[in-house]
Amino acid sequence: MKLILLTGFLGAGKTTMLKKLLTEYEGRKIGVLMNEFGETGIDGKLINNEAFDLIELNNGSVFCACLKENFIKGLAEFLNHQLEVVFVESSGVADPSNMGVILETVTKISGKAYDYAGSICIVDGVYFLKQFEVIAALEKQIIYASKVIINKADLQNVETLQAIEDKINGINSAAEIYQTSFCEVPLAELVKTMKSVELAARPSENTWESRPHARILRTEALLNYNAFEQFLNEIKGSTHRIKGFVRTDQGVFEVSSVNELAVLKPWNKPVEQTEVVLISAVGIRMISDLLRSWKKYFEDTPVSI
């Protein structure tokens, strides 16, 4: 059974890539293991489909001690099914340095082995150079990648895209690089030509101490759309990533924000409450920033963060 890992920092486009892969493999038996950094599964709602088997692991990275045991169990469980390929969408902060050890453990406890085809790393063409200086796991994601997709190329200039490509080549000259937008790449060819890189164990960046702070904003109140849009634009500077769903007086919207880019898109399925995951760029201070902004725009409207 083939196994393919999808890596990339928060908001780079992993879920977009996964959606395209699921379309490419429509009608074939596949498994998907999704890793959310937060205790609620937002991405699972975005790709919900009965045509594949899905396991979600929340509130950490599958390569961190906090979730590694469940990750191993999930991979072992998929080996009991007759699947053609299993895709693992890792969290944005995942460091795949110990993937080799994990696969060895899966084989020991299940008696079966994966045909590991390697990893596809999605790079954010807008923010990568800035993120690379502060997020240690990004280098590891590139080191272990067979293919690297520089996404959001339409939002970046030619010179910076070349600087990103040069940086990637300096880290992993064997990786094949694609420049694109919305993860539009020749998927069938890309997957077919993947090659697994050497999985020699290295010290992992994923530890309890290195985990970014993540909070979930929840409220059952129906929010004023314009007020929420202003709230979102005010708090986005304190976060790496915001994603979830919000109930407003203009309908339900999917919330998606990466650094300075924030988008509200209409969502045509019902949700029980507003539920938004926020991953901090400023540590624990994000909580006070959130509460101050919430009070400013929503006064005493009940909320849990």
CB 52 within 8 A of CB 89: no
Highest average pLDDT, of 6-10, 188-192, 237-241, 295-299, comes from 295-299
Give residue 65's pLDDT.
42
Give residue 38's pLDDT.
40
CATH 3.40.50.300 fits 2-192, yes or no: yes
Question: How many percent of the chain have pLDDT more than 90?
Answer: 42
Q: How confident is the model at residue 43 (pLDDT cuts 50, 70, 90)?
A: very low
Flag whether pLDDT at 261 surpasses 90. Answer: no
Structural class in CATH, domain 214-298: alpha beta
CA 196 and chain centroid, separation: 21
pLDDT in tens, 155-186: 999 999 999 999 999 999 999 999 999 999 99
Give residue 146's pLDDT.
93
Q: How confident is the model at residue 44 (pLDDT cuts 50, 70, 90)?
A: very low
> In 3D, which of 118, 156, 301 has the Cα closest to residue 217?
301
Question: How many percent of the chain have pLDDT more than 70?
Answer: 84
Give residue 81's pLDDT.
87
Flag whether pLDDT at 299 surpasses 90. Answer: yes
Flag whether pLDDT at 28 surpasses 80. Answer: yes
pLDDT in tens, 220-230: 999 999 999 99
Stronger pLDDT, 119 or 58, i.e. the higher one: 119
Q: How confident is the model at residue 203 (pLDDT cuts 50, 70, 90)?
A: low
Q: Residue 147: exposed, middle, or buried by beta-carbon count in 10 A (0-12, 13-18, 19+)? A: buried
Beta-ladder partners of 256: 243, 263
Q: At 243, which helix (H) or strand (E)? A: strand 239-248
In angstroms, the Cα distances linking 117 to 6, 7, 51, 58 are 11, 14, 22, 24
Per-chain mean pLDDT for the chain: 83
Give residue 197's pLDDT.
67
Give residue 198's pLDDT.
66
Give residue 281's pLDDT.
76
**Whole-model pTM over 0.85:** no
- Mean of the pLDDT values across residues 115-120? 92
Give residue 63's pLDDT.
44
Flag whether pLDDT at 47 surpasses 90. Answer: no
Q: Where along the chain do its domains lie?
A: 2-192, 214-298
In angstroms, the Cα distances linking 81 to 75, 88, 137 are 11, 16, 32
Flag whether pLDDT at 39 surpasses 50. Answer: no
Give residue 71's pLDDT.
78
Residue 245 to residue 254: CA distance in whole angstroms: 5
Helices (H), 123-273: 128-132, 137-143, 158-171, 187-192, 225-235
Stronger pLDDT, 70 or 139, i.e. the higher one: 139
